[in-house]
A = this chain, B = another copy of it.
């Protein structure tokens, strides 16, 4: 498949860092491991090859300029899984499939023990792109190819995971298989999850496509030494700051609320402003104020859903319901935003009344310090003197399987820039060069962690 990436190098992204220059610096380092780099053309070629299964909406004219629509456990997902199993087997891996259909491909090391994994997901949103999840798995496969062609023997096994149904788009729990693996979600709940708008369950679809494995979906049966995930940022920060690698320290704390404002329907022409209980006006004040409060505390506040009744041009709405999504680096900041929001909403509601219900809570996550160090070292050896300029420590705003594995095993994530921060959209795009840099850092982070394990074992 023709890949336009080489043409784009240094042209589109206007970056001062052609990968060819890194290569020259790189080859001067001493360690055998640190000389290893991925084959960018092969990585992108494999990635786009797998996007033939579940190709989505077209947004450009080039063959690869389409989105993806590969819902979990669909026929397209089955074909991508089959490719993953065949490819990793042919690279010498042993395959384990668990009761949630997650696939663990393990390449043996010098010693036995749990593998250090690159993990992510091959499923997509119904109107998703070619990079979210897919890049993380394909970079893992590229890692296996690089290790093989360089005849590298790692200290311990290393491997690649494809987690089932990360998106939660078809069966509506996100990161569900890693959640079962981490004892957060009961297997029964996950198996019985009904398809949105259909009658299939997650278990019946696992059976239908032949991916209902026999290994218990649990860290006890399938231990992970460490979990590294390469992912697109899904936000605009790296691109805006012209950085290449996000070293992800953890995940934001976030909570979802439903706010219901109750006023009184009335005719827009016959009711003086002072006699109204205008639920839409009160809701508008609340949305503006929640944004101000979150901003003052370095957090985020967003309203993505709003409905009102009765919904007629000449009737002041008596009821407005809206969603509120509050996020911040730490749980106590979200606590503080929540407290200020609640107090202000009661004031702003007057003369309407307001009820605020918390629907969902996700505490802040801190990734493993050793894994983070391995990523920093990998970036350092790649970028040499420009590391500070080209990397950024950041927190993940979105959920990922790594948030679940982090409860059980050492975990960290690597972000690369994506165009305008767009994700969950056919136009989701990362430069081939940036995909390659991310895969280089993933590869070397895992090798660094492997060495770290060995040095700890011997000391």
Contacts and interface: CB of A to CB of B under 8 A. Distances in A.
Nearest to A423: B267
Contacts of A252: 269
A398 B287 contact: no
Q: How many copies does the complex hold?
A: 2
B237 A272 contact: yes
A220 B308 CA distance: 45
Contacts of A317: 303-304
Interface in A231-278: 233-237, 240, 252, 254, 256, 265-273, 275, 278
A271 B325 contact: no
B304 A268 contact: yes
Interface stretch (A15-23, A294-302, A349-357): A294-302
Contacts of A288: 281, 284-285, 288
A270 B235 contact: yes
A406 interface: no
Nearest to A237: B272
A109 interface: no
Interface string A121-161: 00000000000000000000000000000000000000000
A414 to B, nearest CB: 15
B311 A421 contact: no
A313 interface: yes
Given A233-B270, A398-B270, A316 B302 contact: yes
A304 B295 contact: no
A419 interface: no
Contacts of A235: 266-267, 269-272, 275
A300 B268 contact: yes
Nearest to A303: B280
A396 B271 CA distance: 10
A308 B302 CA distance: 13
Contacts of A267: 234-235, 397-398, 421, 423-424
Contacts of A306: 280, 306, 308
Interface of A: 233-237, 240, 252, 254, 256, 265-273, 275, 278, 280-281, 283-285, 287-288, 291, 294-295, 300, 302-306, 308, 311-317, 323, 325, 327, 396-399, 421-425
Given A235-B266, A269-B325, 20 more contacts: A235-B272, A236-B271, A236-B272, A240-B275, A256-B313, A256-B314, A266-B422, A267-B398, A268-B302, A268-B304, A268-B397, A269-B327, A269-B396, A270-B396, A270-B397, A271-B300, A280-B287, A284-B288, A285-B288, A304-B308
7 contacts: A236-B275, A281-B287, A281-B291, A283-B284, A284-B303, A285-B288, A304-B312
